[in-house]
Amino acid sequence: MHIDNSTVVLGIESSCDETAAAIVMGGNDVLSSVVSSQIDIHAKFGGVVPEVASRAHLELMQPVINEAIQLAGIGAERINAVATTIGPGLIGALLVGVSAGKAMAYGLGVPFIGVNHLEAHLYAALLEEPHLPFPAVVLLVSGGNTLLVHMTAPGEYSLLGATIDDAAGEAFDKIARFLDIGYPGGPAIDAAAQLGNPQSIEFPRAMLHDGLDFSFSGLKTSVINYVRKNPDVASHDIAASFQCAVVDVLVIKTLRAAQQVGAKSIVLGGGVAANSLLRSEMQRVGSGAGFHVALPSKAMCTDNAAMIASAGWYRLRDHGPSGLDIGAIPHLSLTGSTVRGNRGERK
């Protein structure tokens, strides 16, 4: 099959708590992107309940796909391939998307492409900046992952560093739950921190001078111990000081990685990349050190299917389609192996 700028890919995403579908042409031209979030459904539980997520995906999947096709202003017969997240993620949630994607591909008689969700996050910046200068260092920070990736071209990347315990988003979510300031935790801490003093409490910056890996579980314990000893401290000050400790480590290590590999660009991706302090500090420090800093829009940072369709286009062009016998892989890592301890088992 010939893949070019007119090749239209339907992307499908259902790895966690967003049911999403998008139509992307030629790898970068987003014709439509529909995201139906389940935040309200899970809010009363304080976290994503896997079984509830799977059932919600089942109900939402077909209407979301239909809406994406309708908004793109095309007929289904114009779709040349179907790309779907196969992992990492919650097994039941993934299976809904994978089954829908395969059924669509089979029904339309077009190729099916299984997409690694983490790889797709690397393509999100390219959707808004197709001429991004390479090589780039991507900081991928979400609820299940904290990764530093060296990307030399679309599809060519290697892992530079990762968290050895909690992901950054997981730390945000757990501290917000502990402080009881709202769900989901990241945006709640971000909002509370606007009202607090980031210098009020000096929380630890773990492994700051030590390589490119991260650790956030000690920081989480330190915040909890501090609040237990000082119950009257304002939660805005805790939120601001905690956020500042996380952002300091993320920015310093990303800059170190970019300098080490001689990158031209620094790119943010993943849900935590929507954090306002992380965005402003990465922009200030990164461009101050001479790097091009790409900050995808918040809609492109969080889970969406446009990035799945984009990654699918590149994968189809460079590696061809996947077999219809491919399954959902909950513990898929960025490099294709299956690992434990990532977003598939976090909640």
Binding residues (CB under 6 A) for ligand KG4: these are 16, 142-144, 169, 172-173, 184-187, 190, 270-272, 274-275, 302-303, 343
Q: How far is CA 221 from CA 142, 164, 178, 228, in A?
A: 20, 15, 11, 11
DSSP-H helix ranges across 33-167: 39-43, 50-72, 91-108, 117-128
> Would you say 69 or 250 has its CB closer to ligand KG4?
250
- For residue 180 the two structure tokens come to 């009881």
Provide CB contacts within 8 A for 124, sequence distance 6+.
269, 296, 300, 301, 304, 306, 307, 310
Cβ distance 93 to 345 under 8 Å?
no
Cβ distance 64 to 26 under 8 Å?
no
Closest contact distance (angstroms) between CB of 151 and ligand KG4 is 18
Closest contact distance (angstroms) between CB of 109 and ligand KG4 is 33
Closest contact distance (angstroms) between CB of 100 and ligand KG4 is 19
> Would you say 81 or 249 has its CB closer to ligand KG4?
249
Rounded Cα–Cα distance for residues 242 and 222 (Å): 10
Closest contact distance (angstroms) between CB of 116 and ligand KG4 is 14
Rounded Cα–Cα distance for residues 268 and 248 (Å): 15
> Would you say 83 or 118 has its CB closer to ligand KG4?
118
Closest contact distance (angstroms) between CB of 12 and ligand KG4 is 16
- For residue 260 the two structure tokens come to 């080490």
State the amino acid at position 123 in one-letter form.
Y
> Would you say 190 or 281 has its CB closer to ligand KG4?
190
> Would you say 170 or 237 has its CB closer to ligand KG4?
170
Cβ distance 227 to 238 under 8 Å?
yes
> Would you say 98 or 120 has its CB closer to ligand KG4?
120
Closest contact distance (angstroms) between CB of 277 and ligand KG4 is 8
Element (H, E) at 157: strand 156-162
Closest contact distance (angstroms) between CB of 191 and ligand KG4 is 8
DSSP-H helix ranges across 295-336: 298-301, 306-319
> Would you say 116 or 275 has its CB closer to ligand KG4?
275
